[in-house]
Amino acid sequence: MTRFEKKVWLSSPTMHGDEIKYVTEAYETNWMSTVGANINEVERLAAEKVGCKYAVALSAGTAALHLCTKLAGEALYGMPKAGEGSLRGHKVFCSDMTFDATVNPIAYENGEAVFIDTEYKTWNMDPVALEKAFEIYPDVRLVVLVHLYGTPARVDEIRTICQKHNALLIEDAAESFGASYKGKQTGNFGDYSAISFNGNKIITGSSGGMFLTDSKEDAEKVRKWSTQSREAAPWYQHEEIGYNYRMSNVIAGVVRGQMPYLEEHIAQKKAIYMRYKEGLKGLPVQMNPYDAENSEPNFWLSCLIIDKDAMCKQVRGETEALYIHEKGKSCPTEILERIAAMNAEGRPIWKPMHMQPMYMSHAFITANGNGRARTNAYIAGGIQDVGADIFARGLCLPSDNKMTPEQQDAIIQTIKECFE
């Protein structure tokens, strides 16, 4: 087996040199806090790229999602009392297969997430399951949608369902900056939208995020909340709860230096996806899907899913997994172990939120209705919900845009050997 001298990462930052120029500018001009030319410019560039009117630079994509949630709660239910939370115990429909940063802001605002099952077509929220959820919980007024791994969801269908039920939409585009749906950039479809510049994203600041909107009023609210809700007074005057969520001018310097390379990064990521797709032909696996007719992903992560009849025996606990190799078959645990032995990084698919210990008591809705019974059957070896199935059979492949074709070929060969 090939072992790389230098580790091949899942998705690491790719620096170009311009970043240090803007960081140095912040240092030399002494604009090291949460104001400065870098922040102003990245807000302008993000809004211009996405095609929205306003962008507010924040410390993380999670901060942006939190303030999206707070705005939505206040728009729906009015101003909360101190410590009450803007959602006040109301249920919120949320994509199930995602990172918990999507969901946690609902808890921050004292809401209750209800998880909507995934579809096979895009690995995103299933519109049929969302419609079923509104039948079961007709009073819900807020939906949180994720574009998983940079692949746009079925936006038109989701938005139509939201409009039918008078629900607002939060768009978590943290992973999909630069992706488009029907020619329109993601981050432009929600009543409130967010992107991320975390260290592994397609454009990075090492951290950071952005709130996106066409509403000047919402942008001003988020800008105020993110700077501890300071009032326009000559002293520190505070009339509502605020947060220390503003992006620093130093981090903004990194993002500013990255921005011109977004399309280059997307092209590199797409080439990696296509090389995997071609190289894995003939194996009982499929790449993570997308709707080629209506969307263009940013191909942030290349993933695969193993055909059901090609899965060897695999058992997962809360923190460990076991498998038994079978000729002609494999499983995510085996492939990930073999990739790791090469000094390369892969990882399991996001474990669905309805399977996470801290959210197991929450409702979970599939296209057929209440999903908890189906999940319990899945655990017992019976019927599977879609999210649990993709988690069981899928994995994220090394997708670093600095990976060479030769390194990728070696990874592909190792995957082939797993099925021997």
**Nearest to residue 11, comparing CAs of 150, 123, 104, 195?**
150
**Residue 54, SS3 per DSSP:** strand
Task: Characterize the bridge pairing of strands 285-287 and 295-296.
Answer: unpaired
Query: Number of helices and strands (H, E) in the chain?
Result: 13, 18
Please name each of the domains of the chain with its CATH number: 18-260 (3.40.640.10), 262-418 (3.90.1150.10)
CB 266 within 8 A of CB 259: no
What was the pLDDT predicted at 376? 55
> What pLDDT, on the 0 to 100 scale, is given for residue 372?
63
User: In terms of DSSP H, where are the helices of 332-404?
Assistant: 332-341, 372-379, 386-393
pLDDT at 385: 92
Q: Which residues contact 5 (CB under 8 A, 6 or more apart)?
A: 343
Which pTM was predicted?
0.96
d(CA 253, CA 401): 22
Long-range contacts of 102-106 (CB under 8 A, 24+ apart): 102/65, 102/144, 102/146, 102/172, 102/174, 103/144, 103/353, 103/359, 104/62, 105/62, 105/65, 105/66, 105/68, 105/69, 105/70, 106/69, 106/144
Q: How do residues 15-32 score in pLDDT, each as one tens digit?
A: 999 999 999 999 999 999
Residue 277's φ and ψ, nearest 5 degrees, are -60, -45
Residue 261 is which amino acid?
Answer: Y
The chain-wide mean pLDDT, for the chain, equals 96
pLDDT in tens, 352-390: 999 999 999 999 999 988 766 555 555 444 446 999 999
- Bridge partners (DSSP) listed for residue 139: none
Q: Structure tokens of 177?
A: 């900056």
Give residue 1's pLDDT: 79
Per-residue buried b or exposed e for 272-311, using 16+ beta carbons within 10 Å of the residue's own CB: bbebbeebbeebebbebebbeeebbbbbbbbbbbbeeebb
Q: What is the dihedral of CA 115, 170, 62, 385, to 10 degrees?
A: 20
CB 8 within 8 A of CB 343: yes
Least Cα distance to 301 among 320, 336, 276, 338 occurs for 276
Question: Cα dist. 224→110, 216, 243 in Å?
Answer: 21, 12, 9
Closest CA to 94 of 48, 47, 148: 148
Residues in the chain, pLDDT under 50:
379-383
Q: Which two tokens stand for residue 111?
A: 């809401």
201 catalytic residue (yes or no):
yes
Active-site residue among 70, 201, 221, 269?
A: 201
Token digits for 118?
């995934």
Determine the pLDDT at residue 382.
Answer: 46
Question: With contact defined as beta carbons under 8 Å apart, do 92 and 250 qualify?
Answer: no
3-class SS at 286? Answer: strand
Give the DSSP letter of residue 301. Answer: S
Angstrom distances, CA of residue 90 to CA of 25, 107, 370: 46, 10, 19
In this structure, the number of other CB atoms found within 10 A of the CB of residue 177 comes to: 27
Q: Of 383, 346, 342, which Cα lies nearest the Cα of 366?
A: 383
Q: Residue 397 has which token pair?
A: 């492949």
